[in-house]
Each structure stands twice: as structure tokens, then as C-alpha cells.
Chain A
Amino acid sequence: MVPREVKEVVRTDDPDVALMLLCKGGDDVAFSQLVEKYEDRVLGLAYRYLGDRGLAEDMAQEAFLRVYRARGRYEPRAKFSTWLYRIVVNLALNELRWQRGRPSVALAVKTETSSNVNIDHTDSGLLPPMETLEKEELAVRIREIVMELPENQRIAILLNKFEDLSYEETAEAMEMSVAAVKSLLTRARVKIKERLLPYLGEDVHAM
């Protein structure tokens, strides 16, 4: 991935910025177009972050409502998507108000994984090799590993690996320096590697 240049000027090259400016001017149709364009991405990010479909829907909805409520203050200083991700990140890391009265995230994830698949999680150091595991089971294991990451590492990994944000864009969405993002991602990837190494094929070990 090549780092993209982020300009601190009005983004006339971003069609979503144009839509958002229309929304700012009172055009709800423009807003609905933005929601439809980004809902799958925001829902996906929320789902992978929270591990629960219902909670993810609430979070995605809240993110878009915040976009709508903030429309009057909107200034096109970054790509629209970066601004949107910043709202999602803020919701994920700083704001728990919207999920007050909900069961804890950890609880929701536990329920979901344990009802789907039976894997012995008690001894993660002695996991069976990849070929004996169903792909689905591996997916569950990966989900658990991602959920075990600290929240800021988790959101950084999701932005970088699933939303295809460069380090610089991830830094912008998380309102931190590129160096801090690099460090977060390295720590996250070391942890993921350690937990997933038992699943990797022989080719990697033989290299």
C-alpha cells in the first residue's frame, strides 16, 4: 500500500465531500446517498470491532446520526471517509453512552462464539494444525484473537487491514501520529502472529 498524500485544503476531488456539503445545506437525499454508500463498510467495521451484529447495527446507526447532527459544522478538511471513520473511532474508543444498558461487549462475543463452534480455548499453545480445522473454526479463532486485542490496537488493525486505510489515513482517523499508529499496528500484529502461528502451513516455518 502506498501512502497517500493528505492535503489540508478543501477536497474538491472527493465526490463524497460534495455530497456532504449538500447535506450541510439541508439536502437529506444527499445524506441518504452517503449512508447507502458507506453503511456496509461502517457496519462491517463495527461488527468486527464489537463481534456482535445487533450492537454493530446500533453503533453504525449512531455513527451516521452523528454525521447528520454534525452536518452544520462540517468543514471539508479531509476525505469524507476519513472524517466518517474518525466519528466511528471516537464512538468505538471514547463513547460508551450509546450502548448504556446493553450487555457488555465481552459477554456478547462469548455467547456468540460458544454457541457456534466448540473449540478447546483453554490451551491455545497446543492448537491443532490448520488442515484439521475447518475454515469456519479458524475464523472463530481469529475473531477471538482480534477481540482480545486492546481496543485501540483492534480498531487500528481493522482500519488498516479491512478498510484499506494507509498508516497515514489510520493516523488521521484515530487522531494520532503516524509513528504511534505504526507502533500500535506492530504490537497488534506481533500478538496476532504469536496466536496464529500454530495455524500456518509448513512453508512459512521452512523459509
Chain B
Amino acid sequence: MRCEEIRELLVAHADGELDDVERERVDSHLANCPACRRERAAFESTGNLLSLLGPVPGAGRSISARVMATVRGEDPWCGHIRRELTAFVDGELTEAEARPVREHLATCAACAAESRALERTGDALRAWKLPSMRIGLARLFAPPRARGRLLRFAAALAAACLLLAVGIAFFVSESGTATPPPGLLRAMEMLDPATLEILDQDPGLLEIVRDLELLESVTDEEVALLTLNGSGG
């Protein structure tokens, strides 16, 4: 065997990873070749020096404590899953994105409960809002007599969406000191208690509203118009 071929085997030779046939060939070459012997020794020495990388500074039991705390519920991964959960419930994730969520839900009771709650609120919103909103918009340019009532209804809904969009849904729960704008009061009149509770408890509602395409189905101009009209009437 030529030196070049031997060199290819020297690392494995130093690591004791050659089979008997290869090892004997390398050994007999090394016996007669000082250059390859030197090379072999250099691999071994430099390999041994790697041990100087040493242990982890300040090692301790920190990992198991953190892992077990996470497993028992305070899971940062849960945080990640929760952020994806609305999109997951709405079927808006790709299969690659949805798989880890599905797997997580199979093993995490807390996130699974959250997922079911999101499904329920999504259904409630769908049942409550979509038909009304669409009818309202379709009838906007209907004959004047019918328009008054429909406008108010649509305006109230649009106001609710708008207010949610700017993050003042907390008025619903903390209106004790602040005075909600008239548009919101009217919007709230339209809501049933169960929905109010949802608004109260679910900061992710805006995303649900968005996912329901409530906002997308209304242009900014239309919303502005509706809100103006609503606050006037």
C-alpha cells in the first residue's frame, strides 16, 4: 500500500476502528515508514489534546430542574404552541407547522384544553357574527327604510371590531372608571353575555376576528363610514 492510502486509514487506526485486515496492512506499513509513523503519532497526540476542552464550567443540576418544571406545566414550548394555536384551530397552518402542534396537544392537557376552548369561542363567534355582518353589508345599499336598522346593526359590529383592533376590549371588563365610547356601548348591546365573557377573557380574540375575515370583508372606508354613521345615529 502506498503512503497516500495509508494516510486515509490513520485516524481510524489511531481510534482503533479498523478491521483486522486493514489494521494489519497499516501496521506492516508503519513498521517500515517513519513518515507515516510520525503522522499516526500526530493524529493520536492532537486527538488527546482535545481532552483539554474540558468540562462545562459550573455544571450542576440545573437542566433536570428546568426540564421537570417544564414537563410539570410551566412549559416555554407551551408558550410557543399557544401562539400557533388559533391558526391551528382555524386550519391555517401548513402540515409541517401543524404536526408539532398536534403532537403537543396529544401529550399536554393544558394546551389541549386551551385548544378546545378556542374551538368553542371560534364557533360561537362564527355563529354570532358572520351571518349578521354579511347581511348587514349586503343590505347597505338597500332601500332607505330597511337601511336605518341594518346600518345601526352593522355599525355596532364594525365598531366592536375596530375597538378590538386597537386593543381596548378591556373596556368590556374595566368600564367602571372609563366611559366607553358610544359606538362600543351600542356594540356591547348587541353582544350576548356568553360572548361578553369571551371578550373579557380572551386576548386572542382579535386574531379570531381576523381569521373569521370579519375585518377583511369590510374595507377601511366602509368601516369608517359605518362607524361615523353609527355614532351619529
Chain A interface residues toward B at CB < 8 A: 1-3, 28, 31-32, 35-36, 39-40, 42-44, 47-48, 53, 56-57, 60-61, 64-65, 68-69, 71-72, 135, 138-139, 142-143, 146, 157, 160-162, 166-167, 182, 185-186, 189-190, 192-193, 196-197, 199-201, 204-205, 207
| A176 to B: closest C-beta gap in Å | 15
Scan residues 47-83 of chain B and give those whose CB is less than 8 A from a CB of chain A.
Answer: 47, 49-59, 61-64, 66-68, 70-72, 75, 77
Q: Which residues of chain B are within 8 angstroms of A42 by Cβ–Cβ distance?
A: 63
Majority secondary structure of chain B interface residues (helix, strand, loop or mixed):
helix
What would be 30 A-B contacts, judged by CB atoms less than 8 Å apart? Answer: A1-B15, A1-B16, A35-B67, A35-B68, A36-B64, A39-B64, A42-B63, A44-B55, A56-B56, A57-B62, A57-B63, A61-B66, A61-B67, A64-B64, A65-B71, A68-B107, A69-B107, A71-B107, A166-B17, A167-B17, A182-B12, A182-B17, A189-B11, A189-B14, A189-B43, A193-B46, A197-B42, A197-B46, A200-B45, A201-B45
Given contacts A60-B63, A157-B50, A189-B43, whether A32 and B56 have CB atoms under 8 Å apart is no
State whether B67 touches A185 (Cβ < 8 A).
no
Show the binding face of B for A, using Cβ within 8 Å: 8, 11-12, 14-17, 34, 37-38, 41-43, 45-47, 49-59, 61-64, 66-68, 70-72, 75, 77, 103-104, 106-107
> Which chain B residues lie closer than 8 Å to A167 at the CB level?
12, 15, 17
